[in-house]
A and B are shown apart, each in its own frame.
Chain A
Amino acid sequence: MNEFVQVLLFGLTLGGVYALMASGLTLVFGVMRIVNLAHAIFMILAAYIAYFAFTIYNIDPIISIFITMPVMFFVGIAVYWLFFARIKGTARTGELTVLLTFALALMAEGLLGYFFSNVYRSANPPYATQALHFGPYILSAGQFYATLMSISLIALLWAFLKYSRIGYAIRATMQNISAAQVVGVNVERMSMVAFGIGMALAGASGSMMSFLFTFYPGKHWEWIAILLALIVLGGMGSLGGALAGAFILAISSALVGHYFGFTWSPITFFLALFIILLFRPQGLFGKKMEA
C-alpha cells in the first residue's frame, strides 16, 4: 500500500508541471482554434533561457519565471503578429495554421540546434537532487516545488480569466467567437493576448523543465506528443480538462512505469490518446464538435 501511495505522490507532483505545460496549449486552442505544434519548442527555448540564467547569473530556475514568462509573452506577440495575423481570415486558415506551427517548430529547432547543439542539458539547483520526507513517503524536492509553483500559476491564470476584464473577453471568445464579436470583443486582439499568455505559460513550463528534465532541441517532438495526449484526454480548449488530463496521465504513467518498467511509461500517453479518440473524441470535458 505504501509503495502504491509513493508512486501516486510521484505522479501527482509531475501532474502539476504537466498541467502547466498543457494549459498554454489548450488556452491557445480554445481562443484561436489552432493546435500550436510549436508550443513545446518554445518551452525548450525558455528552458535554455532558465538554464543560462542559472549557470551564468546563478538565478534560481523557479525564480527565472520572472524572466521567461515576460520574454516568451513578447515572443508570442511577435510570432502572432508576424505569422498568424497574416493568414487569419483566409479560406484555409485551419490547415494553414497546422502547417505554420509545424514549420515554426522545425525552424526554431534548427536555430536552437545551431546555437546550442544537441547536447543534453539540465540546470542543477541544490533542491534538484534533494528529497523531502513526509512520514514514510519521500518526494523529490525539485518536483514538489515545481508542482507548487505550477499549481499557483494555474490558479493565477484561473483568477485572471474569471475576474479580469480581459479574462472575461478571453473566456467569451473561447465559448463563442461570434457572440464575443457581437458584444464588442476585439477577437483579433484577444487572440493575440491569449497567444502571448499561452507562450508565457510555455515560458514558465520551460523554467520548470530546465531542472526537472534533461533537454535538447529535438526533445520537443516527444513533449508535444505528450501534451497533445493530455489536452485531447481533457477536452481541447478546456483548462479544467487540461488539468484533469495532466494529473490522470501523470499518475497513470507513474503507475505503469513502476509496475511494468519505465520503458513502458511513455506509451501510457499514446494509449490513452488512442482510446479517448476511439470512444470519446471530445475528451473528458470537451464539447462535441458539430458537423
Chain B
Amino acid sequence: MALLEVDNIRAGYGDGPDILKGLSMEIEQGKTYCIIGPNGAGKSTLLRAICGLLHPREGNVTFKGEVLNKLRTDEILRRGISFVPQDRCLFPDMSVKENLRMGGYILRNRKELEDRIEEVLVMFPILEKCGSQQAKTLSGGQQQMLAIGRALVLRPEVIMLDEPSLGLAPKIAQYIFDIIAQLKDAGMTIILVEQNARKGLECADWGCVLDLGYNRFEGPANTILNDPRIQELYLGRQKQDRQEKTA
C-alpha cells in the first residue's frame, strides 16, 4: 500500500474554478518524487491540498490509510507531513532560533523541541552562526535553509518542498539540492515541485508531469528525463537545440 495516496481530487481557491480536476497519484515510503509541469498546472495547489491548507472539493487524500481531507494543517503535521512553501513563509521579525521554535510549535515538550532545534543546527551550521539574526535579514539561500530546517524540526516522514531553488544563485541552489539528497539518503519521503525540472528529476526516483490539473504522465525520473516529448515540452530541449545550432 502506498504511504500517501491522492485519489481523483478536485480542488481550487474560494469560489474559483477547479485547479486540480481529478488528479491521482501514489507516493511510496522513502522515495523522492519530482512534480513538474507548466505554470497553472496545479503543482503548488496539489501540495497545499495534501497539507491541509486547501481542502479538496472531491476525492481523497489518504495517509497510511487515513483520509486527511477535513483535517487542519496542524493535525496533518502531527501525522508526519511537513510543507516548505514556495515563498519560504518565514516570520520576518523573528530570529532564526524563534523561527525554528515555531517549526516545532505543535510539540508540547520544550526539552524535546530544543533538542530537535540542535539537530537542525548541526545539519545547517550556517543557521547556528546567525541564530539571533532576524529572518528578514538573511540571504535568499539562508532563508531557504531556514525554511527547510524549520520543517525538519518535526522530523517528518514526508517533506514537501515547493520550488526550493527558486530565485537562488546556481551555487546556492546546488547546496539546496545537496541537502535534498542528504534527506533522501536518510530515507525520508520527499515530494519536490521544481521549476528547474532537469535538476529536480535528477535527484528524484519518480517523476510526475502535471498539466491543467491532471497527472498527465508519470514514471521513473530517468525515463521522464529522457522522454523526447517531455524534453520538448518541459525541459527546454528545443530551445537548447536551437541555441546549439546558433552557436
B83: Cβ under 8 A from any A Cβ: yes
A184: Cβ under 8 A from any B Cβ: yes
Asked if A185 and B74 make an inter-chain contact with CB atoms under 8 angstroms apart, the answer reads yes
- Residue in B78, B92, B93 with the greatest tally of chain A CB atoms within 10 Å: B93
- Cβ contacts under 8 Å, B90 to chain A: 176, 179
Asked if A184 and B106 make an inter-chain contact with CB atoms under 8 angstroms apart, the answer reads yes
Asked if A184 and B93 make an inter-chain contact with CB atoms under 8 angstroms apart, the answer reads no
Asked if A183 and B150 make an inter-chain contact with CB atoms under 8 angstroms apart, the answer reads yes
Asked if A184 and B74 make an inter-chain contact with CB atoms under 8 angstroms apart, the answer reads yes
Asked if A176 and B91 make an inter-chain contact with CB atoms under 8 angstroms apart, the answer reads yes
Inter-chain CA distance A172–B74, complex, in Å, is 14
Size of A's binding interface in residues, CB under 8 A:
17
Asked if B92 and A176 make an inter-chain contact with CB atoms under 8 angstroms apart, the answer reads yes
Asked if B105 and A184 make an inter-chain contact with CB atoms under 8 angstroms apart, the answer reads yes
A181: Cβ under 8 A from any B Cβ: yes
Interface size class of B (residues with CB under 8 A): 20 to 34
Stretch in B95-103, B196-204, B239-247 with 4+ CB within 8 Å of A = B95-103
B70: Cβ under 8 A from any A Cβ: no
Asked if A168 and B102 make an inter-chain contact with CB atoms under 8 angstroms apart, the answer reads yes
Evaluate whether A178 and B91 lie within 8 angstroms (CB atoms) in the complex, with A184-B74, A185-B105 already known. Answer: no
Minimum CB–CB distance for B188 against chain A, Å: 18
- Residue in B15, B85, B105 with the greatest tally of chain A CB atoms within 10 Å: B105
How many A-B contacts if CB must be within 8 Å? Answer: 60
Evaluate whether A172 and B91 lie within 8 angstroms (CB atoms) in the complex, with A182-B85, A184-B105 already known. Answer: yes
Interface string of A175-196 (1 = CB under 8 A from B): 1101111111110000000000
B73: Cβ under 8 A from any A Cβ: yes
Restricting to B155-179, which residues have a CB under 8 Å from any CB of A? Answer: none
Asked if B73 and A168 make an inter-chain contact with CB atoms under 8 angstroms apart, the answer reads no
**Closest B-chain residue to A185, C-beta based?**
B105
Asked if A175 and B92 make an inter-chain contact with CB atoms under 8 angstroms apart, the answer reads yes
- Cβ contacts under 8 Å, B101 to chain A: 168
Evaluate whether A175 and B91 lie within 8 angstroms (CB atoms) in the complex, with A168-B98, A181-B73, A185-B74 already known. Answer: yes
Interface string of B208-230 (1 = CB under 8 A from A): 00000000000000000000000
B25: Cβ under 8 A from any A Cβ: no
Asked if A169 and B91 make an inter-chain contact with CB atoms under 8 angstroms apart, the answer reads no
- Cβ contacts under 8 Å, B91 to chain A: 171-172, 175-176, 179-180
**Closest A-chain residue to B110, C-beta based?**
A165
Asked if B74 and A178 make an inter-chain contact with CB atoms under 8 angstroms apart, the answer reads no
B64: Cβ under 8 A from any A Cβ: no
A91: Cβ under 8 A from any B Cβ: yes
**Closest A-chain residue to B16, C-beta based?**
A91
- Cβ contacts under 8 Å, B77 to chain A: 183-184
Inter-chain CA distance A181–B84, complex, in Å, is 11
The 8 Å CB contact of A91, one of B15, B53, B73, B85, is B15
- Cβ contacts under 8 Å, A183 to chain B: 77, 102-103, 105-106, 150
Inter-chain CA distance A165–B87, complex, in Å, is 25
Restricting to B41-94, which residues have a CB under 8 Å from any CB of A? Answer: 51, 53, 72-74, 77-78, 83-85, 87, 89-94
Minimum CB–CB distance for B144 against chain A, Å: 14
- Cβ contacts under 8 Å, B98 to chain A: 168
Asked if A172 and B102 make an inter-chain contact with CB atoms under 8 angstroms apart, the answer reads yes
The 8 Å CB contact of A178, one of B85, B92, B103, B105, is B85
Interface on B for A, CB 8 Å cutoff?
14-15, 51, 53, 72-74, 77-78, 83-85, 87, 89-94, 98, 101-103, 105-106, 150
Not counting A182-B85, A182-B89, a sample of 8 additional A-B residue pairs whose C-beta atoms are within 8 angstroms of each other reads A168-B98, A168-B101, A172-B102, A175-B92, A179-B89, A181-B53, A182-B73, A184-B77
